[in-house]
Amino acid sequence: MSDNPISADNQQERLLDAYLTGFADGKGSFNVSFRKRKDYKLPWKVSACFNISQKEKRILEIFQKHLQCGTLRSRPDGVWYYEVNSLIDLQKYIIPFFQRNPFLSEKKQRDFFLFQRIALLLSSNQHLQQSGIQNILTLRRNMNGGGKRKYSEVEILSAFSKESSETICQTH
């Protein structure tokens, strides 16, 4: 064992990184949501989010402190959420952290890979075009085992064609 305090700090940092990655592998989730917005130029707001929920706030506070971003909130039933909704924070802190500390489970590796691709599409404003929305939907379809969705892909895409026809009617 080294008496070098820097070495000890590095070892503790690596252990904490491994613990947080393992915890997120089991309890974390990468999500992409669509919300109807009347105050946006497009019919949908597309949001990417990393979150973890559980009853022990202390562990989530460690995530927040170590990853230097995100918010904590609680539900009335005592469950706490750590979530990062800011695309900038996802790209600056969350994605690089999990790139340096890869997941062990194939499912979480897949979800993270797809999430990274979606974040890239969002940061390059691809979500502002119908083709970009289609790409995001295709990638999202394979995340989280398909998951329950509030809005179907057909409903999301049909809002664009409805908007296009309304725009055409208004210009004629």
* Selection from 15, 113, 131 nearest residue 62 by Cα: 15
Number of Cβ within a 10 Å radius of residue 130 = 16
Give 5-171's CATH code, choosing from 3.10.290.10, 3.30.365.10, 3.10.28.10, 3.20.20.70: 3.10.28.10
User: Residue 107: which residues within 8 A CB-CB, separation 6 or more?
Assistant: 145
Report pLDDT for 167.
38
Q: What is the pTM of this model?
A: 0.84
For the segment 16-38, the average pLDDT, to the nearest whole number, is: 93
Task: Give the Cα separation of 30 and 89 in Å (integer).
Answer: 14
Instruction: Answer for the pair 158, 137: CB distance below 8 angstroms, yes or no.
Output: no
For residue range 71-118, what is the model confidence (pLDDT) as tens digits?
A: 999 999 999 999 999 999 999 999 999 999 999 999 999 999 999 999
Are 57 and 71 within 8 A, CB to CB? no
